[in-house]
Structure 1
Amino acid sequence: MCLAAIGSYVYIYLVALLGLLICLAVATLTSLGLFIWFAMTPHNPETERKRLAILEGFALLTGFSLGPILDSVIAVDPNIIVTAFVGTSVIFICFTLSALCDTHRSHLFLHGTLMSGCSILFLVSLTNVFFGSTLLFEANTYLGPLVMCGFVLFDTQLIIEKAENGDKDYIWHCLTLFLDFISIFRRLLIILSKKEKDKKTDWKNKKY
């Protein structure tokens, strides 16, 4: 998370000022390459340092890729970033504790439902590219965090289940939870930013 924050800082205070938006595309493609490299690297004591380095690079570039949305949120209200981070942390902790307290591993059965939810959200986003519907956009925006909260429950219990069965790949488990956190954080940024924009628009309309 610290490396992701550094990556975002680099984008906002360096790249955004220099106008080098091509760096964003390069960073996104590089992070994808690192993810594939990480997934293909087997877990063993000899590759542990390498996999940790790949994870650190991926986290840094993920934060860098968050730069544009953070930049747009700062233009609306910088306090939204703090609010979104605190909100994401609270959500993440609450759902993680819920998963840890459930000794029956009942949330493991959510996998099919969550994958279906992701597919629906993807199709809605793809459809909205052509139709530009506000309703579809809001449906995707508000349903997305619910699906990702479900993934926090599922991934936490899956990690416990794997660990109990001898899978001690903590680096991959760390990556899984990191992606869950970032996904919730990104969507909260969009929701809070939209609400703040609507509030300012309503205030201007009342003023005039």
Structure 2
Amino acid sequence: MDQSFSSFFDSQPRSSSRSSWTYESLKNFREISPVVQTHLKQVYLSLCCALIASAVGAYFHIIWNIGGLLTTLATLGCMFWLLATSPHEEQKRVSLLMASSFLQGASIGPLIELALDFDSSILVSAFVGTGIAFACFSGAAMLAKRREYLYLGGLLSSGVSMLFWLHFASSIFGGSVGLFKIELYLGLLVFVGYIVYDTQEIIEKAHLGDLDYVKHALMLFTDFIAVFVRILIIMLKNSAQKEEERKKKRRN
């Protein structure tokens, strides 16, 4: 960890002297070999399919109200089953990825249904905002020097631990608005960081011969959904507060 931090700070003077990005620099993937580039295409294609499957799952919840605790547990079961399955069973693992994505979509279906009932434009804005943030941070990780952001692993793990204990404390001692906001925004910051970290970890593992695109797509899918849910909740809360303020002004 100390070496990671020292290498990071040692690299700062060099990074500050870099010129601004140009169109040519945006196409600079010289540190990513053709094999790794092909692997990344498979990863992001699988990620897109997983997001479509999750959208179908959310739609099924809206029609038949299937989302809940059971789908959440089934999601975790499919994920663990996927990770425990041999990489040679590619078709089975892809099916498990799609199944876990479908169930994850159904699990967040109640939140999506709430957003649709309140204002459907919020759902679209949250998804577009998440997509833009994901593309920017993942692209930044690809364009950065190899291993430049891998030092974030320890910090992000600490952030997840803090989220766990905050949630544990709120469930025992009772939650407050302030604690909920801290948990919400800290979680958003942590999972945005995981987008950068996981992207570079996927690239580094692919350079070392780990071309398991299904597992890597699952990692990025988990990050995307975590960021999307938090952005959607933040936008819903802000819109609800504005609506309450408008009602108070009308009464006055």
**TMscore range, shorter length:** over 0.9
Q: Which residue of 2 aligns with 1:99?
A: 141
* Partners of 2:130 and 2:224 within 8 A in 1: yes
Q: Which residue of 2 aligns with 1:174?
A: 217
Residue identity over aligned pairs, in percent, reads 40
Partner AA of 1:53 in structure 2 = S
* Partners of 2:78 and 2:100 within 8 A in 1: yes
Q: Is the partner of 1:9 in helix, strand or coil? A: helix
How much has 1:123 moved relative to structure 2?
Answer: 1.1
Q: Distance in 2 between matches of 1:165 and 1:79?
A: 43
Q: Which residue of 2 aligns with 1:40?
A: 84
Q: Which residue of 1 aligns with 2:62?
A: 12
Aligned residues: 200
Q: Distance in 1 between matches of 2:212 and 2:78?
A: 17
Which of these residues, 107, 128, 136, is aligned with residue 179 of structure 2? 136
Which of these residues, 120, 145, 159, is aligned with residue 117 of structure 1? 159
* Partners of 2:142 and 2:200 within 8 A in 1: yes
* Partners of 2:191 and 2:223 within 8 A in 1: yes
The structure with the greater share of residues assigned to helix is 1
Q: Distance in 2 between matches of 1:191 and 1:28?
A: 22
* Partners of 2:146 and 2:200 within 8 A in 1: no
1:194 is aligned to 2:206: no
Q: Which residue of 2 aligns with 1:163?
A: 206
Which of these residues, 76, 84, 108, is aligned with residue 126 of structure 2? 84
Of the structure 1 ranges 103-112 and 57-66, higher mean CA displacement relative to structure 2 is found in 103-112
How much has 1:144 moved relative to structure 2?
Answer: 1.3
Spell out structure 1 runs of 4+ moving beyond 6 A.
Answer: none
Q: Distance in 2 between matches of 1:38 and 1:159?
A: 17
Q: Distance in 1 between matches of 2:129 and 2:166?
A: 25
Q: Is the partner of 2:201 in helix, strand or coil? A: helix
Q: Distance in 2 between matches of 1:28 and 1:96?
A: 27
| Normalised TM-score (structure 1) | 0.93
1:68 is aligned to 2:110: yes
Q: Distance in 1 between matches of 2:169 and 2:101?
A: 30
Q: Distance in 2 between matches of 1:110 and 1:27?
A: 31
What is the Cα-based RMSD across aligned positions, in Å? 1.1
* Partners of 2:141 and 2:149 within 8 A in 1: yes
Larger radius of gyration: 2
| Normalised TM-score (structure 2) | 0.77
Structure 2 spans left out of the alignment, 5+ residues:
1-50
